[in-house]
Amino acid sequence: MIPAAPRPFCDDAKRGEGDHERIIMCGIVGYVGGQSALDVVVAGLKRLEYRGYDSAGVAVLADGGLASTKKAGKLVNLEKALVEQPLPAGTTGIGHTRWATHGGPTDANAHPHLDNAGRVAVVHNGIIENFAGLRAELAERGHDLASETDTEVVAHLLAEAYSSTGDPAEAMRQVCRQLEGAFTLVAVHADEPDVVVGARRNSPLVVGVGEGEAFLASDVAAFIAHTRSAIELGQDQVVELRRESVTVTDFDGQPAEVRKYHVDWDASAAEKGGYDYFMLKEIAEQPKAVADTLLGRIDGSGALHLDEVRIAPSVLREVDKVVVVACGTAYHAGMIAKYAIEHWTRLPCETELASEFRYRDPILDQRTLVIAISQSGETMDTLMALRHAREQGAKVLAICNTNGSTIPRESDAVLYTHAGPEVAVASTKAFLTQLVACYLVALYLGQTRGTKWGDEIRTVVRQLSEVPGQVERVLETMEPVRALARSLAHKNTVLFLGRHVGYPVALEGALKLKELAYMHAEGFAAGELKHGPIALIEDDLPVVVVVPSPRGRSVLHEKIVSNIQEIRARGARTIVIAEEGDEAVVPYADHLIWIPAAPTLLQPLVATVPLQVFACELATARGNEVDQPRNLAKSVTVE
Ligand code: AGP
């Protein structure tokens, strides 16, 4: 029996100020021209559905008015609704597919959002940080807001601004000057049937210029069926689209320089951002995914704010054991979480394979905190594990990347990662954001229980805020790793070694190679070599070794350098991932992969990236289908 909808851990847990949604990635389309706006916009949304599929909606200008339909769920739900209740024909319109990370995937939260008179429609990608104050001011001025989203305030503000300016572009500029945060907006006004206006801060927005028509979209995939002439909008710019003109200014109305270019991707490549595979795109998105997962959870002083984790501090202080349950890559994240949780909170922490967990009759009670990690939020093994835990009285916190999925719905609380949709079966950006979420939970537990002082937490938080840049640097140096992978495509086995948090990284590297290159790959705790696995070492056997920082737990470093010597002495081809400047490993490394210096516990965030690239490149060299490897599914919804 599925338990009732989860309640906060205690009745005094208060919902945040209007559960505003953080849409890190979603699909936006705007059109003005001679074609059916509905046909162009819906076709464009189909091309962008990989960017989000929690809900979808459209708005069309026709007969002097504005008509809109929006539905929770995949785009097909919207298409059905449009067949059941067609919108009037019009040649100007906007549309949106949503990837919600805050604010459930409901019809009310779906975009477009309208003003009370139904004359303005707006779609949005981003986070309006000052929406609560704007919302209160609008309410005081008599506006009636129907949703809990931050986006809706824009529709009402645009209506006010237009009534005083009579110019949709100037109205957009006025509103943008009031907003804080990240926002990409596209809007229409019923009084201006041949105009679409847009604004860009942070999330991408591109213009397509056709013959007597123009397009706006989150990426070119939405309109390259119609035109390959594009204009990339820059930061803090407003664009006014008409059939025969595109006018771009800054937020103050000054003409802005823009970059025009010809799109030479095909539609499929455009969905992948020009990459050959979604996996490559998602590897490249990791800096942003990590930054987005940190966004809004760390204040200017470096203090943590995890209000969305509706766990009363009094309950957390009673917790006497933590159990992490997960599968596959998420399990490897959980293994790393164990080190952080025990180090920062001094709470015992076990990490369990979800598929094994409930069959071993685990010891659980109301003082146990179970953390269920899942990208999809639908993995049956993990779901069954958390159900068992709740039946035993434990509290369950989900760490999940998919808003409104089953695992967070059946947990007592959830901390969402903000990786955006992960399309490739092999998990990459979800893994790094799971690690970030685990670190945040561990720090939050320490902060709440008083085992970590503010200055200590601020130090780690500062270190975490440096990770996106460090991952970016790693991604810029991956060509030698790709060349090495190609040179090993004929090999049958690769081993992976690590110590401490490097051991789960070794397991993750092995899993990536198994699931992508279909080859034997095995990860070991390096200290285990002498207890058997060293018998596997033979001439030219590739062995990847993840070396901990020489600056932290130096005893770990010394021991793993000895391990490298041991395997090299027996003929292994040593592939060493080490911190820049770690001279001790150089004499024993056949191949060296340098990574930026990072604190011991955070090193997996940078050490894993070369292993992802290595596995993807080796699989490509073998001619494998990287995004959908054989026998695998993105979400394993069976036990
Ligand atoms: C990892 O690359 C795999 N796709 C797989 O191990 C995955 O991590 C596992 O099935 C768990 O999925 P979840 O995170 O959606 O629960």
Instruction: Please write the tens of the pLDDT for every residue from 203-230.
Output: 779 999 999 999 999 888 899 999 999 9
Domain boundaries along the sequence of the chain: 27-267, 286-465, 472-621
Q: Ligand 1 centre from 377 Cα, in Å?
A: 10
Would you state the CATH architecture of domain 27-267?
A: 4-Layer Sandwich (3.60)
Q: Is the CB of 374 under 6 A from ligand 1?
A: yes
Q: Is the CB of 345 under 6 A from ligand 1?
A: no
- The predicted model gives 251-278 an average pLDDT of 84
Under DSSP, is residue 619 helix (H, G, I), strand (E, B) or coil? helix
Cβ atoms of 386 and 360 closer than 8 Å: no
Q: Do domains 286-465 and 472-621 have the same CATH topology?
A: yes
Under DSSP, is residue 509 helix (H, G, I), strand (E, B) or coil? helix
Q: Is the CB of 375 under 6 A from ligand 1?
A: yes
Residue nearest to atom 6 of ligand 1 (CA): 328
The pLDDT score that the predictor gives to residue 552 is 65
Q: Ligand 1 centre from 330 Cα, in Å?
A: 6
Instruction: Please write the tens of the pLDDT for every residue from 471-514.
Output: 999 999 999 999 999 999 999 999 999 999 999 999 999 999 99
Q: Is the CB of 355 under 6 A from ligand 1?
A: no
Catalytic residue among 26, 327, 349, 616: 26
635 vs 251 pLDDT, higher one: 251
Cβ atoms of 227 and 209 closer than 8 Å: yes
Q: Ligand 1 centre from 580 Cα, in Å?
A: 31
Q: Is the CB of 451 under 6 A from ligand 1?
A: no
Q: Would you call 559 exposed, middle or buried from its count of C-beta atoms within 10 A (0-12, 13-18, 19+)? A: middle
103 vs 87 pLDDT, higher one: 87
> Which of 277, 324, 327, 406 should be mutated for ligand 1, with most atoms under 8 A from CB?
327
Query: Quick one: three-class SS letters along 416-439?
Result: ECCCCCCCCCCCCHHHHHHHHHHH
Q: 273-302: string of b/e by CB count within 10 Å (b at 16+)?
A: bebebbbbbbbbbbbbbbbbbbbbbbeeeb
C-alpha to C-alpha distance for 427 and 420, rounded to whole angstroms: 12
Instruction: Please write the tens of the pLDDT for every residue from 505-535.
Output: 999 999 999 999 999 999 999 999 999 999 9
Give the CB-side neighbour count of residue 17, counting CA atoms within 13 A: 10
Question: For the domain bounded by 286-465, which CATH number is listed?
Answer: 3.40.50.10490
Topology of the domain covering 472-621: Rossmann fold (3.40.50)
Q: Confirm whether 634 is a catalytic residue.
A: yes
Asked if pLDDT for residue 613 goes beyond 60, the answer is yes
Distances, alpha carbon 145 to alpha carbons 78, 295, 307, 356, in Å:
23, 26, 23, 48
Q: Is the CB of 379 under 6 A from ligand 1?
A: yes
Asked if pLDDT for residue 559 goes beyond 60, the answer is yes
User: Cis (ω within 30 of 0) for the bond into 348?
Assistant: no
Residue 102's pLDDT band, with cuts at 50, 70 and 90, is low
What is the identity of the amino acid at 61? L
Asked whether the CA dihedral 445, 449, 452, 454 is positive or negative, the reply is positive
pTM for the full model? 0.75
Under DSSP, is residue 123 helix (H, G, I), strand (E, B) or coil? strand
> Which of 352, 371, 375 should be mutated for ligand 1, with most atoms under 8 A from CB?
375
Q: Confirm whether 176 is a catalytic residue.
A: no
